């Protein structure tokens, strides 16, 4: 029960940090640093510390900084698919070193498709950004399968 509460709280915090990074009056680093930090903390609480998390944090940070499009243009469905794929591939080093391939593949499929559909279909930027932050954080425990 405690692990479920930790998972839900981390997912909500991930959603809030993701939105803060896109909201006016806040720095994008709330998203860029905050979402990876809460994600690595969640994985550490649920599955223990793994040294490769340091590399995953850096890759996750990098994935948070792009929507795979030119600045000033609208994101298309493929931009959102690549965004979700980037969030997922940040944990490829963990899959390689830990052997948790099933969870990695399941999470990659879910995050890539869910990010694409959610971002393409939801018109409200607040809900859209919160949803992306929730999706990418809430699915992290799949990596432990």
| % of the chain residues with pLDDT over 90 | 99
Which single residue is written with the structure tokens 């499929």?
Answer: 109
Task: Give the pLDDT confidence of 115-126 residue by residue, as tens digits.
Answer: 999 999 999 999
Greatest Cα pair distance, the chain, in angstroms, is 45
Report residue 26 as tokens: 């806040």
The whole-number pLDDT of residue 63 equals 98
Provide the residue range defining the domain that includes 100: 2-144
The model's pLDDT over 62-108, given as tens digits with 9 standing for 90+, comes to 999 999 999 999 999 999 999 999 999 999 999 999 999 999 999 99
Name the domain count of the chain. Answer: 1
Instruction: Specify the DSSP element, H or E, that contains 79.
Output: helix 77-89
Tens-digit pLDDT profile for residues 36-66: 999 999 999 999 999 999 999 999 999 999 9
Which pTM value belongs to this model? 0.95
CB 31 within 8 A of CB 63: no
DSSP 10-58: HHHHHHHHHHHHHSTTS-THHHHTHHHHHHHHHHHHHH---TTHHHHHH
């Amino acid at each position: 029960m405690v692990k479920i509460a930790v998972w839900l709280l981390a997912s909500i915090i991930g959603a809030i940090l993701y939105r803060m990074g896109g909201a006016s009056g806040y720095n994008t680093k709330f998203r860029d640093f905050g979402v990876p930090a809460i994600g690595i903390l969640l994985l550490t609480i649920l599955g223990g510390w793994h040294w490769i998390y340091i590399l995953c944090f850096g890759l996750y940070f990098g994935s948070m900084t792009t929507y795979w499009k030119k600045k000033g243009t609208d994101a298309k469905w493929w931009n959102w698919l690549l965004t979700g794929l980037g969030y997922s591939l940040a944990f490829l080093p963990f899959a390689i070193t830990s052997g948790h391939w099933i969870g990695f593949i399941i999470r990659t499929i879910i995050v890539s498709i869910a990010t694409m559909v959610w971002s393409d279909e939801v018109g409200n930027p607040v809900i859209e950004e919160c949803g992306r932050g929730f999706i990418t954080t809430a699915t992290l425990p799949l990596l432990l399968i």
